[in-house]
Amino acid sequence: MKSLSWNCSGFIKGVSLEVAEREVKVIFGPSGSGKSTLLRCINMLSPPDKGEVYLRGQNFMASGINLNTIRARIGMVFQTFNLFSHLKAIDNVSIGLRRVKGLLKEEARAKALEALQQVKMEQWADHYPAELSGGQQQRVGIARALAMEPDVILFDEPTSALDPELIGEVLQVMLDIAKAGTTMIVVTHEMGFARAVASEMIFLGDGVILEQGTPKHFFTSPKSDRVKKFLKQLQILYGSHEELLKQSYEEESK
């Protein structure tokens, strides 16, 4: 992604970043800094005014590009789940496989069930969203993205709408799929997750990248006073979740 700009509300000013296969990029920063807008630019839900977005050598900004084909290659997990209330969990996952990829009903259901198993939701496959907790609904949302076998999955603050006691289950699923090699761009303030799996962290402020580096850089020697202050505030708010993910990561590394 090169010099991406989007000049409406939630503006982005010349942001450039590269994401390699199997990498996990974590984007964080204050409210209104353009984090969600950046994700919407990447998957063309909000096409940028200028710049270039490439996926496996294909420029999304080129003329004649089919945006629906592009979006099918980029998974999206939203803050507020965005499940269809009238569909069961398995149908929420399989609908994209049928309508976008053209799979027959039984094949789509089989793949949807596999995706639900990845997020430990197979036993809830025949339940409607209203019958699920917020954490369970978000895990269905993650399964929906995984089922499409995208090149990359974008996560837009996937735990921000959850009650504190439900956050851990979603973070654990994200940790698991990151460890399995899923390419991910994650907007989050969950620094335990970032410390555990991020290949690079990016601090976004006022529509520009103010600082970027490895988790070790941010947690030991950030340069910007603004970043230092922000991280200190996050530690107060999210310390318990950081310890949860840190412990899980250390156990897997043994």
Domain 2-73+152-253: give its CATH architecture.
3-Layer(aba) Sandwich (3.40)
Boundaries of every domain in the chain: 2-73+152-253, 83-149
Distance CA(42)–CA(158), nearest Å, equals 17
What does pLDDT average to over the chain?
88
User: Looking at 51-60, 83-92, 193-202, which range is the least confident one?
Assistant: 51-60
Farthest-apart Cα atoms in the chain, separation: 55
> What are the pLDDT digits (tens) for 134-181?
999 999 999 999 999 999 999 999 999 998 889 999 999 999 999 999
- Give mean pLDDT, residues 22-29: 96
Residue 10: pLDDT over 90: no
Residue 15 binned pLDDT confidence (cut-offs 50, 70, 90): confident
φ/ψ of 17, rounded to 5, equals: -155, 155
Instruction: Output the pTM of the full model.
Output: 0.89
DSSP 77: E
> What are the pLDDT digits (tens) for 180-202?
999 999 999 999 899 999 999 99
The pLDDT assigned to 239 comes to 59
